[in-house]
Amino acid sequence: MKLLLAGENDTLYAHPFLRAAGMAGEEPVALRSGAPVAYGTRLMSMPGWDAVGFDPGSGSFETVQEIKLGRRWRRVFAVAAVPPPGYLRLLLPGAKRTPAAPLLPLWAYTAAGAAARGEIMATLRVDRRRRWDTACYDTPALAPAIEAWKKRYPKNRIVAQLARCATEYFCSTARNLFLGRYEAALPLARACNSRCVGCISKRHGGHPCSQERIGFSPSADEAVDVAARHLSRARDPVVSFGQGCEGEPLTAATLVEEIVRRTRAETPQGVFNMNTNGSLPSAFERLVKAGLGSVRVSLSSAVAGNYDAYFRPRGYSLSDVKRTIRLSARRGVFTSINLLVFPGVTDTKGETEAFVDLVEETGANFIQLRNLSIDPSLYPVRGMKLDGAAFGMSEWLRLVKEALPRVGFGCYNPTPSEIRRWT
Ligand code: SF4
């Protein structure tokens, strides 16, 4: 597998003799195998990042800034793959940041290489459910469906927000609302009590954001109209609080509670889900009583100091998050942990032991493996306590699955029919 390089105008080159490499945190690793890039994968140049390749002759890693094309030497940069949903990233790109590099947008940069049969990426498919495949969302049915919703609810700000999310941000859960199926977004929170380094809707880390944070607080009427229509009509429906374009939904628990209670008075169909940082267990308990059926709690680490380095919590701690997960599982809510995976950190001894302990101790049902989308240089590895070298994400997955035989693994929130099947 040859080292991939990006030249001017993002032209791709394969290095004449260096092999592809990746990074586990800041440690280079030679790429021995990889998956062919799947439909929906993006190959990206990393401007200002030098490529790192492996020299099989000397057995050492080399940093590449230029290659000879014809008679001239040309500046080249590292290349990363950004896998579609369903693929676990095994290694970060083989790349070293130079001081001239701009901050990269929020993508899950992954090691890539050039094989005889085409480009490959360092990933493992961990969720084969097709409903989230990128191909399912490129449909001509979307635009007229959005128009129909807008016509029916001309003054509903949530409908207008989701129309923007569906067309500008290509958000799958916003598109699901209009396409009348599965998990639909219901964003409403403007505030958040975390300051994640890689927040996707607020520039806490100075990076460019993927979405603009929602600029209004919807009324319960606006939200109930959207929720009741989706739950009563859509295929295997879920209404989901805690989307990419909002803050933390638990900070708006009173509004969420009213929405769930009033919608449940209109329809018993489907499931209410919440994607959350799990920071406020008492508020969460009220929502369970109101009728919340599934939850996804995000974690970057189960080691308190390392968790704080990324989430930078305000007014809560990892022990509050554990209380929320435990309470949720005990109350029979389908409880997923959304683990923000970062090779070189997640797959170290202390991190792995703490994570397995947390899952066992809280009783969570399912682990969602989320490739953390962030400029690799922004992830606060240096502020973390890590014991020992990374043992690789494939080995990590084998060990964690072995240690947690009753827990499910994948990438997506369950539908009502899956919850019925799995519980
Ligand atoms: S919990 Fe979500 S909204 Fe809050 S800072 Fe983190 S990514 Fe941003």
Pull the structure tokens for residue 189: 């929170």
Q: Which residue intervals of the chain bear CATH 3.20.20.70?
A: 130-422
Q: Best mutation site among 190, 196, 310, 338 for ligand 1, i.e. most ligand atoms within 8 A of its Cβ?
A: 196
338 ligand 1 Cβ < 6 A: no
Q: Best mutation site among 277, 297, 301, 374 for ligand 1, i.e. most ligand atoms within 8 A of its Cβ?
A: 277
Banded model confidence at residue 60, pLDDT cuts 50, 70, 90: very high
Q: What is the pLDDT of residues 20-59, one digit of tens each?
A: 999 998 899 999 888 999 889 999 999 999 999 999 999 9
244 ligand 1 Cβ < 6 A: no
Least confident of 136-140, 156-160, 267-271: 136-140
Q: What is the pLDDT of residues 323-368, one digit of tens each?
A: 999 999 999 999 999 999 999 999 999 999 999 999 999 999 999 9
413 ligand 1 Cβ < 6 A: no
* Cα–ligand 1 centroid distance for 345 (angstroms): 20
Q: What is the pLDDT of residues 159-215, one digit of tens each?
A: 999 999 999 999 999 999 999 999 999 999 999 999 999 999 987 767 778 899 999
Percentage with pLDDT > 70 across the chain:
100
* Cα–ligand 1 centroid distance for 61 (angstroms): 36
Q: Alpha-carbon distance 221 to 417, whole Å?
A: 28
Alpha carbon of 199 to those of 69, 243, 374: distances in Å? 40, 12, 9
Q: Best mutation site among 106, 199, 210, 374 for ligand 1, i.e. most ligand atoms within 8 A of its Cβ?
A: 199
Above 80 in pLDDT, residue 306?
A: yes
Paired strand residues for 19: 2, 54
pLDDT of res. 326: 98
> What is the 3-state secondary structure of the chain?
CEEEEECHHHCEEEEEEEECEEEECCEEEECCCCEECCCCCEEEEECCEEEEEEECCCCEEEEECEEEECCEEEECEEEEEECCCCEEECCEECEEECCCCCCCCCCCCECEEEECCEEEECEEECCCCHHHCHHHHCCCCHHHHHHHHHHHCCCCHHHHHHHHHHHHCCCHHHHHHHHCEEEEECCCCCCCCCCCCCCCCCCCCCCCCCCCCCCCCCCHHHHHHHHHHHHHHCEEEEEEECCCCCCCHHHHHHHHHHHHHHHHHHCCCCEEEEEECCCCHHHHHHHHHHCCCEEEEEECCCCHHHHHHHHCCCCCCHHHHHHHHHHHHHCCCEEEEEEEECCCCCCCHHHHHHHHHHHHHHCCCEEEEEECCCCHHHCCHHHCCCCCCCCCHHHHHHHHHHHCCCCEEECCCCCHHHHHHHC
326 touches 365 (CB < 8 A): no
For the segment 396-406, the average pLDDT, to the nearest whole number, is: 98
Alpha carbon of 416 to those of 184, 289, 383: distances in Å? 13, 18, 40
For the segment 271-299, the average pLDDT, to the nearest whole number, is: 98
* Residues 130-422, CATH architecture: Alpha-Beta Barrel (3.20)
In ligand 1, the atom with minimum distance to the C-alpha of 204 is 5
276 touches 320 (CB < 8 A): no
Residues with Cβ within 8 Å of residue 314, at least 6 apart in sequence = 193, 194, 195
* Cα–ligand 1 centroid distance for 277 (angstroms): 8
For the segment 251-272, the average pLDDT, to the nearest whole number, is: 98
277 ligand 1 Cβ < 6 A: yes
Percentage with pLDDT > 90 across the chain:
88
247 ligand 1 Cβ < 6 A: yes
Q: What is the pLDDT of residues 220-246, one digit of tens each?
A: 999 999 999 999 999 999 999 999 999
pLDDT of res. 383: 83
In ligand 1, the atom with minimum distance to the C-alpha of 276 is 1
pLDDT of res. 205: 64
In ligand 1, the atom with minimum distance to the C-alpha of 311 is 6
pLDDT of res. 180: 97
196 ligand 1 Cβ < 6 A: yes
Provide the 10 A C-beta neighbour count for residue 356.
17
* Cα–ligand 1 centroid distance for 248 (angstroms): 6
201 ligand 1 Cβ < 6 A: yes
> Taking each helix axis from N to C terminus, what angle separates 220-233 and 253-266, rounded to the nearest 10 degrees?
40
Residue whose CA lies nearest to ligand 1 atom number 7: 199
Q: Alpha-carbon distance 67 to 54, whole Å?
A: 15
In ligand 1, the atom with minimum distance to the C-alpha of 277 is 1
φ and ψ of 381, to 5 deg: -55, -40
* Cα–ligand 1 centroid distance for 247 (angstroms): 6
Paired strand residues for 64: 51
273 touches 296 (CB < 8 A): yes
In ligand 1, the atom with minimum distance to the C-alpha of 195 is 5
Residue whose CA lies nearest to ligand 1 atom number 8: 199
* Cα–ligand 1 centroid distance for 63 (angstroms): 35
* Cα–ligand 1 centroid distance for 50 (angstroms): 30
Pull the structure tokens for residue 319: 């022990």
Cα-based angle 282, 285, 286 (whole degrees, multiple of 5): 95
Above 90 in pLDDT, residue 80?
A: yes
pLDDT of res. 207: 73
248 ligand 1 Cβ < 6 A: yes
Least confident of 111-115, 325-329, 383-387: 383-387
pLDDT of res. 395: 96
Q: What single letter denotes the amino acid at residue 334?
A: F
* Cα–ligand 1 centroid distance for 240 (angstroms): 16
Average pLDDT, the chain: 95
Pull the structure tokens for residue 91: 């290694």
Distance of CA 347 to the CA centre of its chain: 17
